[in-house]
Amino acid sequence: MTKSFDISFHGNLILDNVYCVAEFAEGESNSCLSAYASPGALANMVLAVAKITSDISMAVDSLLGHDTSGAHILKWFKHFGKLYRNELGVNLPQQWEIPTSEAVIISDTNKKVRSSIVKWGACQQVSELDNTKSNWHHILYVDKLPNLTEQSLKSISKRSIISLDMCSNKHTDMERSRINQMLHHADYVFAGSTEALSLTKASTVAESAHRLGSQCRGYAIVHTPAYSLYSNGRNSAEVRCPEVLKEPVNVLGAGDNFAAAFITSMLQKEISIPEALEQ
């Protein structure tokens, strides 16, 4: 796919099988409030952008298995593409040998936390990036893409903005080495506090943001439920969440939505990082 888009989303694409509960208790039989199956990860970001604006063209780039889960995801994107009032490029080839990645997710709506069991599959085989003419490239869960390296990022035009995010709260030294090399090619890095602490081996969230920011070309953005820290290794600042939700809520995809909203704000208008984070 050689056409230019505003944003290309690369990397992880999973079929989420979600079970919402009010108060999850380990070792007990929990009542399910609702259940559904829906594409997650990359699809969460596409949907988040669409809820904000239709002025941005998007492309998706990942791998699926040649199975019912892969067919479910392709059907979802086909339906979404008909509804979205802008261009949507889809590069989702199906593999015969490897199944589609899937997850079972327990979302505790009262505690606002979620737990997941992931069976990684086809999307983990991503090693090259398509849609390389886009203005902004975001790569989801680089710590779960073992075949992606800094060489993969070098295929992207230097005029494009590159951002990465993480999803693992445990990293091996080999994973840290691979990701650290990729950070040098990234303009923005998104990470939750536990992911940032694991990746950097820092003792505080502020220190983890500083370390990540000093390695990338722009800023590291480390988020917690209450605030976000951004740092370029020289200057750091904190942005507090203006509103904390008190009612029960399904927090699945919160990190994906956070990154998607930030990218959309930065693309739509000249705006400062604190303003983008607050929005």
Per-position DSSP letters for 135-162, written without gaps between them: SEEEEE-GGG-TT--HHHHTTS-TTSEE
pLDDT, position 274? 57
pLDDT-based confidence at residue 69 (cuts at 50, 70, 90): very high
Listed in sequence order, the residues at least 6 apart from 203 whose beta carbon sits closer than 8 Å to its beta carbon are: none
Residue appearing with tokens 């990470």: 191
Burial of 103 (0-12, 13-18, 19+ CB in 10 A): middle
What is the rounded distance in angstroms from the CA atom of residue 226 to the CA atom of residue 241? Answer: 6
More confident residue, 70 or 26: 70
Listed in sequence order, the residues at least 6 apart from 9 whose beta carbon sits closer than 8 Å to its beta carbon are: 42, 45, 46, 58, 59, 60, 61, 138, 140
pLDDT, position 122? 97
Whole-model pTM? 0.92
Q: Which long-range contacts (CB under 8 A, 24 or more apart) does 116-124 make?
A: 118/14, 120/144, 121/65, 122/62, 122/63, 122/64, 122/65, 122/70, 122/94, 122/95, 122/98, 123/11, 123/12, 123/13, 123/14, 123/41, 123/62, 123/63, 123/64, 124/12
- In contact, 15 and 102? CB cutoff 8 Å: yes
pLDDT, position 272? 66
pLDDT, position 3? 73
Q: With the C-alpha atoms ordered 54, 58, 62, 67, is the resulting torsion angle positive or negative?
A: positive
Q: Which two tokens stand for residue 277?
A: 């984070």
pLDDT-based confidence at residue 23 (cuts at 50, 70, 90): confident
Residue 64 has pLDDT above 80, yes or no: yes
Residue 261 has pLDDT above 90, yes or no: no
User: How far is C-alpha 211 from the chain's CA centre?
Assistant: 20
Per residue in 188-218, pLDDT (tens digit) is: 999 999 999 999 999 999 999 999 999 999 9
What is the rounded distance in angstroms from the CA atom of residue 100 to the CA atom of residue 96? Answer: 10
Count of Cβ atoms closer than 10 Å to residue 133 Cβ: 17
